[in-house]
Structure 1
Amino acid sequence: MAESTALTDAVDRLAGRLRSLPQRRLSAGAAAQGRELADWLARRAQELESPGAVPHEMPDDGPFTVGDQLAVAGHDLAAALDAVGSAAAADTVGEALDRVSRTARAIG
């Protein structure tokens, strides 16, 4: 699905940027913004995979893990969207891409 590929590409770019940031920038808010996005992506994936179940929260494993957490959550959501393949999935992809873009701009 082209939309999920666009999502994984965008997530991978942002995850790479977060991995390359110095501790000072991560601690100044970039890690928190990335973690917030990763948590949102993970929750959407869990809702698609297990409707009605209470989603798990993304753990705070420190600023240096946020890039990896973001990548995993984004790829999980893309896989869940591919499995569902409905109009609702297209809406979720659009919202996810918007959130990735806003977070990327906020991080700089």
Structure 2
Amino acid sequence: MLDVLDFVNAVDRIADRLRSLPQSRLRAGAAATGLALARDLSARAQRLEAPGRTPYEMPAAGEFAVGDQVAVAGRDLAEALRAAGDVEGLAEALAVVRDVRL
């Protein structure tokens, strides 16, 4: 059975990987991939927390901040999924995170 901790661990691995990449790799597309992931996770959390409201888009904070953005958005989503008891949403979000290639 899936646990929110599985999701948090997967998010942390991606966030740590982004934080450790050299600037050249970040500029070559890894930062854009990370930002897209952070935005997706953030939007999922917002839809759970405020259904009916259009999610705000996470702003680009720069290539060196994208790892932190992924971590924050992932933890926000983990908490929203836990509070909602949304096992299907958890499995879906975990699949999205595991599919990210940097």
TM-score range, shorter chain: over 0.9
Point out the structure with the larger helix share. Answer: 1
Matching of residue 13 in structure 1 with residue 10 in structure 2: no
Alignment match, 1:36: 36
Alignment match, 2:49: 49
How high is the TM-score relative to the length of structure 2?
Answer: 0.95
How many residue pairs get aligned? The number is: 102
Distance across 2 between alignment mates of 1:59 and 1:71? 15
Q: How far did 1:74 drift?
A: 0.3
Please give the root-mean-square deviation of Cα atoms over the aligned residues, in Å. 1.3
Which residue of 2 is the match for residue 96 of structure 1?
A: 93
Separation in 2, partners of 1:93, 1:28: 30
Percent of residue pairs bearing the same amino acid type: 54
4+ residue segments displaced more than 4 Å: none
Gapped regions of structure 2 (runs ≥ 5): none
Q: Which runs of 5+ in 1 are unaligned?
A: none
